[in-house]
Structure 1
Amino acid sequence: MKKLFFLFAFLGAMFFTNAIQAQSYNSAIGLRLGYPVSVTYKKFLTESNALELFAGYRGNTFYNWFSVGAAYQIHKPINGVENLQWYFGGGATALFYSYDDGFDFGDSGSVGIGIFGNLGLDYKFPDTPINLSADWMPTFFVGSGYLTGFGGGYGALSVRYTLN
């Protein structure tokens, strides 16, 4: 019985090691330096499919904005450059915001939903646990107040620490 257990443990370890080597990293955590600045966690579900989760905050004197979201991404290698991939996908975000115009009228707070596309580049440095990505996220907002309609200027540079 012990021999059978060790055989399955060895085969499982070999399978797990090969699965990690097929992808330059398995998961990573870091910052999305965009609009808004966010904490990001990216996890590969398969060799080419990843899920990215993010939560961010942006604010100034007149408004505060907190968002959470998720993106499903499909990664494709770029031939000729090791560890560089391009990706596409989409996702959704929930936005919680408040607006204060400095007077006693016109103030509002609300919740909005954003549905977005995702297009970007992803690079894992070969000898360090650092991953960089840059993306564009055209977003269609459904909500009240000023967060309604199409926004084509969203995207970010992400810097992450890889966890595998």
Structure 2
Amino acid sequence: MSVARFLSICFCLFMGFSSLSAQHYDQAIGLRGGTSFQLSYKEFFSYYPSPQMAWEVLVGVHIDERRRSFTNGYVVEGMWYYHRDIGFNTNFSAYGAAGLHMGVYTPVGEKRRFGAGLAIALGAEYTFNFTPVNIGLDWKPVLGSPRSSLLRGALTIRYVLPTTWQ
């Protein structure tokens, strides 16, 4: 199956989900680990009409998956999310996102250089009812400099910050 066909199927499934609200938090902070290790801050700013929308800022270290180097680069990302409820008030949601990344990269054996590009994400997350924890799993390819990669993905665990309106 080609990448374009896979993305088309994911997009159609994503857009066909129910319009119920799955997110029970306004802000969360946590760690993202996988092909990058990053600190994550996510905030929802639109709940109705569906889909819910959020933005996220990520700061951390990218790993060069070809050379397995932990010193590949320091990166900052900004993402814009569209969330949809997956089930019948199950606290699961699917999301799609797009954003920008930029950072300073040091490929093994080369000089340090600046890089920037586009990042997209497809994933799902679950928010626990009685514990202020949110868990997400995503696939996030990046396009740009110094190297594009379709192999990026991670698990994110966030602490849900208390809100005053609930």
Q: Aligning the two structures, in what range does the TM-score lie when normalised by the shorter sequence?
A: 0.7 to 0.9
User: 1:152 Cα deviation (Å)?
Assistant: 0.4
The amino acid across from 1:130 in the alignment is V
Taking only the aligned residue pairs, the percentage that are identical comes to 31
User: 1:115 Cα deviation (Å)?
Assistant: 0.3
Aligned partner of 1:73 in structure 2 is 81
Which consecutive residues of structure 1, in runs of 5 or more, have no partner in the other structure? 1-20, 102-106
**Alpha-carbon distance between aligned partners in 2 of 1:28 and 1:73, rounded to the nearest angstrom:** 14
**Alpha-carbon distance between aligned partners in 1 of 2:151 and 2:104, rounded to the nearest angstrom:** 19
User: 1:155 Cα deviation (Å)?
Assistant: 1.6
Offset from partner CA, 1:34-76 (integer Å, 9 cap, x none): 2220000010011110101100125787844100001100000
Q: Is 2:105 aligned against 1:97?
A: yes
Aligned partner of 1:32 in structure 2 is 32
User: 1:82 Cα deviation (Å)?
Assistant: 1.4
Mapped contact 1:95–1:114 kept (Cα < 8 A): no
Structure 1 consecutive aligned stretches of length 4 or more whose deviation exceeds 6 Å: 59-62
Aligned partner of 2:152 in structure 1 is 154
Which consecutive residues of structure 2, in runs of 5 or more, have no partner in the other structure? 1-20
Mapped contact 1:94–1:114 kept (Cα < 8 A): yes
1:137 paired residue among 135, 140, 161: 140
**Alpha-carbon distance between aligned partners in 2 of 1:92 and 1:114, rounded to the nearest angstrom:** 6
Mapped contact 2:23–2:93 kept (Cα < 8 A): no
Aligned partner of 1:112 in structure 2 is 115
The amino acid across from 1:94 in the alignment is M
Q: Provide the TM-score with structure 1 as the length reference.
A: 0.74
Q: Which has the higher helix share?
A: 1
**Alpha-carbon distance between aligned partners in 2 of 1:26 and 1:161, rounded to the nearest angstrom:** 11
RMSD, matched Cα: 2.2
**Alpha-carbon distance between aligned partners in 2 of 1:121 and 1:133, rounded to the nearest angstrom:** 6
Report how many aligned residue pairs link the two structures. Answer: 134
Offset from partner CA, 1:76-115 (integer Å, 9 cap, x none): 00123511100012001002112352xxxxx311011120
Aligned partner of 1:44 in structure 2 is 44
Mapped contact 2:61–2:70 kept (Cα < 8 A): no
The amino acid across from 2:114 in the alignment is V
Task: Look at both structures and tell me which one has the larger radius of gyration over its CA atoms.
Answer: 1
Q: Is 2:57 aligned against 1:53?
A: yes
- Secondary structure in 2 aligned to 1:69? strand
Offset from partner CA, 1:129-161 (integer Å, 9 cap, x none): 00000111111113xxxx23x310112100000
